Structure 1
Amino acid sequence: MTARETVRAYHEARFRGDVDAAAQQLAEPFSFRSPFITSTDPAGHLAGLPGFVQVVTGVDLISELYGDSEATLVYDVHTATPAGTQRTAEHFRLEDDKITSILLIFDAAPWLPMSGQIT
């Protein structure tokens, strides 16, 4: 698989709420980092996915950039929360057709009032 195929499979599965399909794209070892959450394993990273996708009302992909072993997606996540629409950048590292790390970048300020509910 190419980096594009792997990352798009993960991205699409995640926003469908398909934990198993998203997990299939992740390597061991794996690391995830965002303004609120850090995880060092696929299960920990995906644990909050079902709750998150319940508040997502849509996703608009703005840009996709791919290399042999990395990718960056920029997209808007529309939510049914006070945060509204969240512009997001996500950087992926890949090895052997699996995602080894994800760095999720977004403005956390709109989410601060809800931060106690984010796990």
Structure 2
Amino acid sequence: MTTTAQTVRGYHEARFRGDVAAAAAHLAEPFSFRSPFIRSTDPVGHLAGLPEFVKIVTDVDLISELYGEAEATLVYDVHTATPAGVQRTAEHFRLDDSGKITTIMLIFDAAPWQPMAQLMT
């Protein structure tokens, strides 16, 4: 479980620092990502919007970490400088035999983000 925890925490911390290269180093090929707004099968595409996203993040409070041999779940609050405010988020990860992340499923209430998403399209 140490490798799982190191990989997932490494990815999580790099992502919220806005360090695309460090976050990408934890992702496998093939890879898939799914959230209420985005689906991606490409690590580069998945992380493409990261620099802009972290600009609106003011803080992250990790609430819970659950680790298994090849999977993990993080629950955290993302504090944003947007009308959405604080976003409670759950993120589930699956890892391959090499210890890299193959899938990420991001779960959150997308309703507060709908007005902003419509403005961006």
> Within 5 Å, which residues of 2 pair with 1:25-36?
25-36=26-37
User: Hey, what does 2:83 align to over in structure 1?
Assistant: 82
| CA root-mean-square deviation | 1.0
Shift of residue 92 of structure 1?
Answer: 0.1
User: Hey, what does 2:71 align to over in structure 1?
Assistant: 70
Kindly, what percent of the aligned residue pairs are identical?
77
Shift of residue 100 of structure 1?
Answer: 0.1
User: Hey, what does 1:101 align to over in structure 2?
Assistant: 103
**In 2: Cα distance, 1:86 partner to 1:39 partner:** 21
Q: Runs of at least 4 residues of structure 1 off by over 2 A?
A: none
Shift of residue 40 of structure 1?
Answer: 0.3
**TM-score if structure 2 supplies the norm length?**
0.95
**In 1: Cα distance, 2:95 partner to 2:116 partner:** 32
**In 2: Cα distance, 1:48 partner to 1:36 partner:** 12
- Post-superposition Cα deviations, 1:22-76, rounded to whole Å, max 9, x if no partner, equal 0000000000000000000100100000000000000000000000000000000
**In 2: Cα distance, 1:26 partner to 1:40 partner:** 11
* Structure 2 gaps, min length 5: none
Task: Give 3-state SS (helix, strand or coil) of 1:54's partner.
Answer: helix
